[in-house]
Amino acid sequence: MSKLLLKQIHACTVCSEYLPNPPRPTINFHPDAEIMIIGQAPGRLAHVNHKPWSDPSGNRLRSWLNVTPEEFYDARRFALIPMGFCYPGTDIKGGDFPPRSECAPLWHAKIRKQLKNLRLTLLVGQYSQKFYLGNKRKASMTETVNSYRDYLPNFLPLPHPSWRNTVWLKKHPWFESEVLPVLRQLIRSN
Ligand code: SF4
């Protein structure tokens, strides 16, 4: 990866006044990566560990992908780039604040330009779907995920694997029976 770009990202303070801690971009990528996973923003654990998806949501995401932690953190395979690179803090109900809106427009295109082998982008949750699919989204996140074939081969929309979506997963069994097998096949295909 471009050392200059990485240096610029790690020196970024653009939205620092809105963050609960000093900026700590939590990302992982290498220019060889074929699959980009775009989540929301690091949660508190991922922030403390300085490792994306090193939390229960990450465990669920890895089970969806059917990959081991070693495979998941192979930066030549997966680029782990959230919509907001720094932990945005938590509200009084225990949910994380949304990713900072300044971040993706500032960095994503620069990173994607470096990913010469990129073949698939997983849009995990509503924020990345809004940013990348815009008005091609359906009326709801559920419909967008259910219409995943409309966005292939470049994008695959997924719900966020947070505990907050456990009820959603129970209500929509087609996600596990239909979408996950397609996701796993796409992950494995070269
Ligand atoms: S969230 Fe993004 S824009 Fe804000 S300080 Fe961190 S790297 Fe910069």
Does 26 score more than 70 pLDDT? yes
* Cβ of 6 less than 6 Å from ligand 1: no
pLDDT digits (tens, 9 = 90+) for 27-62: 999 999 999 999 999 999 999 999 999 999 999 999
Which residue, judged by its Cα, is nearest atom 4 of ligand 1? 15
pLDDT digits (tens, 9 = 90+) for 91-150: 988 889 999 999 999 999 999 999 999 999 999 999 999 999 999 999 999 999 999 999
Does 88 score more than 80 pLDDT? yes
Sheet holding 155-158, edge to edge: 78-80, 35-38, 120-124, 155-158
Give kind and range of the element (H or E) at residue 184.
helix 180-188
CA separation for the pair 69, 62 (Å, rounded): 7
**Contact between residue 99 and residue 123 where contact means Cβ atoms under 8 Å apart:** no
* Cβ of 103 less than 6 Å from ligand 1: yes
* Cβ of 52 less than 6 Å from ligand 1: no
* Cβ of 118 less than 6 Å from ligand 1: no
pLDDT of residue 163: 85
* Cβ of 23 less than 6 Å from ligand 1: yes
Would you list the DSSP string of 40-51?
S---HHHHHHTS
Which residue, judged by its Cα, is nearest atom 2 of ligand 1? 103
* Cβ of 12 less than 6 Å from ligand 1: yes
Tokens (6 digits) for 14: 């653009």
User: Ligand 1 centre from 148 Cα, in Å?
Assistant: 29
Structural domains of the chain, ranges and CATH numbers in brackets: 3-7+27-188 (3.40.470.10)
* Cβ of 100 less than 6 Å from ligand 1: yes
Confidence of residue 189 (pLDDT cuts 50, 70, 90): confident
Which residue, judged by its Cα, is nearest atom 8 of ligand 1? 12
Would you list the DSSP string of 96-117?
BPPPPTTHHHHHHHHHHHH-TT
